[in-house]
Structure 1
């Protein structure tokens, strides 16, 4: 049987190659049904080789892609990223369960800290992921139910959508309840200010956050001191809708009570006025108790200003601020007022003229006028030669009465050489005698006249069991 070249059509010479183009002529396929032999051209063989290569490449690529996108590989990548603390890789592997949850390289470190700091967590994660793999592969996970019920699932293995598929891990959002016991407290989470407490709400919900360890810091800038505290919160509550974790911080501040002998006294802190009186403040706090806070009270008087002792606050509790309004100047003024009244009152009695009396209130002046009028009616005269006033050095007291008027009490003894006699008697014929009287003078400060006035005199030592016995006296002697 003659053969011809299938490539160029040249008649064969009996060799296996075409004498014209060199095409091989001995490739044959025998048809079992017909017994005929088919020959493939070079072009057909090239195309066949390409198709076979493509099929092989596709098979290999499929095997490679399946390997790269398998759930087992995804689990290995997650565990490796956790162990290597690779925030970038973890962020790529995780998918937030809600669009509001931010999962980025910057938000991952608290999660790594939580897993690395709590050994039970990484153990739980590995057991949980293996249980999920077992379930995905269709087998019964003997530990799955136990793991899920005890810890919940932090990373839920989920197949990706798309052409190449693969797996990622769904992570649920977490929330914090932020609160503090002082209104106006600034609260920060991991160094970022997130909330200022108010009296309107007991707490505020903050989130969503990835599970993790978060540092919660509270700072209260008080009027007298600054309070601060912080705590680390392990934030992980299993479940699709986790309840917020309480992250309240109780700030402990020290308080003091301030009292004194004048509730109207103004309170000063470290030399600066608070603008409030003792009665308006009563309790101060929170305050430092390291001695850095010094307190005194000041009282404006009609004749000047008086101040208490300065006290450094070194412990909580009560502090009493006593203002001594009886200084040497006030004492001297009171003595001058009484001496002047006593002198002019004696002259007025001798002259029987009440207009000579000085430093007396209208009430006392009316009493003295009545006494002098009685002397005139009874035709009596009075004469004094010498008078000694002895003031109790500790017998001076200045105070506010219920009407908020300044009063004073002064204790003294008066010794005088004098005589009351009838008009018909001659002064040369009468004999002067020494007599002693003890008095408590009552004075009122007259704001209109800007001076002290004598209002009354009485003897509080008239009983059997009391007497005027000062330890020290201030003496004045007068000659008439």
Structure 2
């Protein structure tokens, strides 16, 4: 028998090819007795068998390869490599897929990973340190020195590699990060806080704070906006959130607050109007109001209730953080105060005629006592004094409303033109003197306004009285006559020293304006101190360009002496030179002596007090 040298199958005689494997039959090398080179038990594989063998091998290869690839792709090392590549390529999407939050079901989004990349770009050293930290978590053998170092550090990783489910039968790993939170604080109720296009919250009260998160570590921008009738404010804060700590952010809005002050604190609450609108705020609550812009664009008024009625401040353009509030008087209140001053002065003139026997109206007890004492002390025997008012009016300027010791005070400035004549009753009246004075009436509220004091002021008669309220005009003539008493002849000279000083003042005013000492010298005792002082002043210091205006010559008291009299005077005058005006308010003491002819002469003039403005 013959066998195939290729596959060992028995050959069919006469065939040139093996029916099993198709190999050509070599007659010369295949005698009948020759045994096949391949034993029958070791048959050669058929084509079909070979095909399945190849398929099996390929399946095994694929399984092994898949395992190796799956094992590699889902390994910690592969995860760290993907992280490194994503950071280098700034691929926010891949990074978002690689990360999960610890202890939170929130997903990491690309906005968070962009903030993360912004931080690593700003601080490249942190990027290197973080990569080293991740590589330190790989399952790689460590030297004893490294293990001891890690144990000593007791490292609590910022980002940790964690198992996150399976892929087929492989463990899947992700990077876990602890979420961070930020607490945002706004100063003003109504402030809208946003993160990108998303609104975080709107403050429901001043100083409110709200926590926002979870957030992926990185650099974030938060904005705050506030708008009302007094301010339009916006600000943005950049916040670096890194590691595991959270932060507080306080928005510093570029605006101010104001506090209101007044010298006339109302008894109850007050109302505040901002740009004409009433707001829910008591300006005198000692709290700050705001935010406001201090550029003058915000205008406020304050309204308050007082014992005599409602008063409102002027309109105040806010430019300073401390706002001083002055209350203005209504037309009715102005008229009421002017009426009180007029009724007082009318009662003064009537009481003057009776030498202080009739009471005064609208005055405090102390002030009335003082005025009536001065009137009753008028003892110029044998003389008659006449007074009548030409015009009296009150300035509409500030009344300086204040509060002290729980009482309210005001000051009403008044200008008055009047005539005064002082003459020997036996000789009859001469030409009256015409005077114009400016006075300040100090008033206190005691169940009504009462005059507490009257002060002579050096106010500008025109400039300080541009707007006025009339008080009195063309009054009757009021007259006080002091009867002459029977006295020794030798004392008759001392009966009219005050009038003598007033006449001297009129002559001295003329002498100054004419630069002529002779006009006033007859009133002075020859070679006396007063004579030389006034003569030197007029002849050496007074110039033609000087202008003197004596506005008040008021006797305060007269004392009779053995040689004559001492007269105490209250005098006011203005001095003008080259357009510059100076006001003087003085009290003086005139020492008078009786000369050989029995006439008064001024021996000495002493200035007791001077107020210069």
TM-score normalised according to structure 1 size? 0.63
Query: How much has 1:215 moved relative to structure 2?
Result: 1.7
Question: Are the structure 2 counterparts of residues 186 and 416 from structure 1 closer, same or farther at C-alpha, using a change threshold of 3 Å?
Answer: same
Residue from 106, 111, 120 that aligns with 1:115 = 120
Query: How much has 1:103 moved relative to structure 2?
Result: 1.7
Q: What does 1:319-468 correspond to in 2, within 5 Å?
A: 319-325=323-329, 330=334, 334=338, 338=342, 342=346, 387-388=388-389, 391=392
- Conserved in 2, the CA contact under 8 Å of 1:260 and 1:321? yes
Q: What does 1:17-96 correspond to in 2, within 5 Å?
A: 17-18=17-18, 23-24=22-23, 30=38, 38-96=43-101
Query: How much has 1:178 moved relative to structure 2?
Result: 0.4
Q: Deviations over 1:142-185 (max 9, x none)?
A: 66856976783425264752325264322223222404262634
- Conserved in 1, the CA contact under 8 Å of 2:188 and 2:291? no
Give the match for residue 285 of structure 1: 290
Structure 1 distance, partners of 2:292, 2:206, is: 25
- Conserved in 2, the CA contact under 8 Å of 1:178 and 1:203? yes
Question: Are the structure 2 counterparts of residues 141 and 172 from structure 1 closer, same or farther at C-alpha, using a change threshold of 3 Å?
Answer: farther
Structure 2 distance, partners of 1:338, 1:326, is: 18
Give the match for residue 140 of structure 2: 137
Q: Deviations over 1:7-58 (max 9, x none)?
A: 9x99711656347x87559896756xxx966454444344334333433444
Give the match for residue 124 of structure 1: 129
Q: What's the secondary structure of 2:159's corresponding residue? A: coil
Question: Are the structure 2 counterparts of residues 138 and 25 from structure 1 closer, same or farther at C-alpha, using a change threshold of 3 Å?
Answer: farther
Whether 2:226 is the aligned partner of 1:224: answer no
Whether 2:242 is the aligned partner of 1:236: answer yes
Whether 2:161 is the aligned partner of 1:156: answer yes
Gaps of 5+ in 2: 26-34, 369-384, 463-469, 478-613
Residue from 218, 222, 230 that aligns with 1:212 = 218
Q: Deviations over 1:401-420 (max 9, x none)?
A: 868899979686976899xx
Q: What does 1:225-304 correspond to in 2, within 5 Å?
A: 225-237=231-243, 242-249=244-251, 251=253, 253-264=255-266, 266-274=271-279, 278-280=283-285, 283-297=288-302
Question: Are the structure 2 counterparts of residues 403 and 271 from structure 1 closer, same or farther at C-alpha, using a change threshold of 3 Å?
Answer: same
Give the match for residue 516 of structure 2: none
Q: Deviations over 1:180-226 (max 9, x none)?
A: 26263443334422244567997544322222222233445567335
Name which of structure 1's ranges 117-126 and 65-74 shifts more when overlaid on structure 2. Answer: 65-74
Whether 2:16 is the aligned partner of 1:13: answer no
Query: How much has 1:82 moved relative to structure 2?
Result: 1.4
Structure with higher RCO (Cα < 8 A, 6+ apart)? 1
Q: What's the secondary structure of 2:199's corresponding residue? A: strand
Query: How much has 1:276 moved relative to structure 2?
Result: 5.4
Q: Deviations over 1:351-407 (max 9, x none)?
A: xxx9xxxxx78x99xx9xxxxxxxxxxxxxxxx998435547669958688688999
TM-score normalised according to structure 2 size? 0.51
Question: Are the structure 2 counterparts of residues 276 and 390 from structure 1 closer, same or farther at C-alpha, using a change threshold of 3 Å?
Answer: farther
Give the match for residue 198 of structure 2: 192
Structure 1 distance, partners of 2:18, 2:236, is: 94
Q: What's the secondary structure of 1:132's corresponding residue? A: coil
Give the match for residue 477 of structure 1: 474
Structure 2 distance, partners of 1:272, 1:23, is: 112
Q: What's the secondary structure of 1:232's corresponding residue? A: strand
Q: What's the secondary structure of 2:223's corresponding residue? A: strand
RMSD: 5.8
Question: Are the structure 2 counterparts of residues 334 and 188 from structure 1 closer, same or farther at C-alpha, using a change threshold of 3 Å?
Answer: same
Structure 1 distance, partners of 2:224, 2:337, is: 57
Gaps of 5+ in 1: 355-359, 368-383, 419-428, 448-452, 462-466
Structure 2 distance, partners of 1:298, 1:338, is: 29
Question: Are the structure 2 counterparts of residues 308 and 24 from structure 1 closer, same or farther at C-alpha, using a change threshold of 3 Å?
Answer: same
Structure 2 distance, partners of 1:167, 1:30, is: 52
Structure 1 distance, partners of 2:53, 2:282, is: 106
- Conserved in 1, the CA contact under 8 Å of 2:407 and 2:445? no
